[in-house]
Amino acid sequence: MPDCARVFLRSSDDLGRRQGKTPPPLRLRDMVPALAHLQRTDPKGFQVAVRGGRVVAFASTILRGSTHFLSMFWALPTLQSKGIGRRLLTRAFEAPKPPASAVRCVYASLDPRAQALYLKFGMYPRGMFYLLRGVPKPSQRPKRSVELVPVGEPGKTSSKMLAVAAKYDRMFREARRDADIRFVTTLPGARFFLVSARGSTIGYAVVTEKGRVGPACVVDARYSAGLAWAVKEAARNMGAESMSIIVPGVNAGALETLFEAGLKTEFFGAWMSAKPLGAFESYFLASGMLL
């Protein structure tokens, strides 16, 4: 996993420079637990290319219900456009063979080489996702507000959390994903919240003390701005110095609310899938690696 993390950091730095962007502030030790989670849950979907005993490229797919998500795909800059990536993707998507109902999808960078390869694998542009980051500042509460009701203890997972998440994930993601919910709820200082409006539960949210938000959702898109404001306030109240959140482009209410609160776009990419999949108008991603 450290080798894979090094490939990711070097490749993402190179991509950022080519696109005139500042690479995200990531450290090797921050990447390893998430990569290890992907490999544990879908070991045959985690494929690597090795040279001289070191990993030089890797691809990871995770299968959740009928959602076959390309979670990570990176190669060292000197090895790109040499056919290695295509071989890796073939193995990651086909070993083990997914069910016929599986829909391939990816949160893709805007690198034209990568996008051309995803098109060859049957994934087509469906919209945009935006990674926002910044200091969560005070802002005006939206008219349609929500309340966050904490469940369980910080950094721990309960059966109630899994049941609540499964109810809404089936609606927004077309899949139950207990393994991923366990991962995000056991991050340091993570809190699981029910999202309530007018006395009824309409969704859930996960926020950590370091300001990492997601997954989060509400069944009524009219409350998207209210949810964005509520998770931003939760991060502030938990003492987060900054927050990060991935917002689908169709979630307009949330984007407007978070921009007003001072967050900035750090990365944006294309949502690509073989068929239309999911409902993102009132959804925040678990992360770029977990959708």
Task: Specify the pTM.
Answer: 0.93
Q: Which helix (H) or strand (E) holds 28?
A: helix 28-41
Fold of 2-122: Aminopeptidase (3.40.630)
- Side-chain-side CA neighbours of residue 107 (13 Å): 19
- 289 phi, psi to nearest 5 deg: -90, -20
**Which stretches of the chain are assigned E, i.e. beta strand?**
46-51, 54-64, 67-75, 103-108, 124-134, 147-151, 191-197, 200-207, 213-218, 243-248, 264-273, 283-284
* DSSP character string of 148-178: EEEES-TT---HHHHHHHHHHHHHHTSS--H
pLDDT of residue 23: 58
Q: Which helix (H) or strand (E) holds 113?
A: helix 112-120
The CATH number assigned to the domain with range 133-284 reads: 3.40.630.90
Measure the CA–CA gap between 191 and 210, rounded to whole angstroms: 11
Same fold, 2-122 and 133-284: yes
Measure the CA–CA gap between 258 and 184, rounded to whole angstroms: 22
Residue linked to tokens 């509460």: 141
- Quick one: tokens of 9? 């950091």
131: closest CA among 20, 21, 235, 247?
247
pLDDT of residue 25: 63
State the DSSP code for 5: H
Helices (H) and strands (E) in the chain, counts: 8, 12
Mean pLDDT, consecutive 10-residue stretches, the chain (291 aa), reads 90 77 69 93 95 94 95 88 87 89 94 92 96 95 97 96 97 94 97 97 97 97 98 97 96 97 94 95 96 93
pLDDT of residue 259: 97
pLDDT of residue 63: 95
Enumerate the domain spans of the chain: 2-122, 133-284
Do residues 58 and 2 lie in contact, with contact meaning Cβ atoms separated by under 8 Å?
A: no
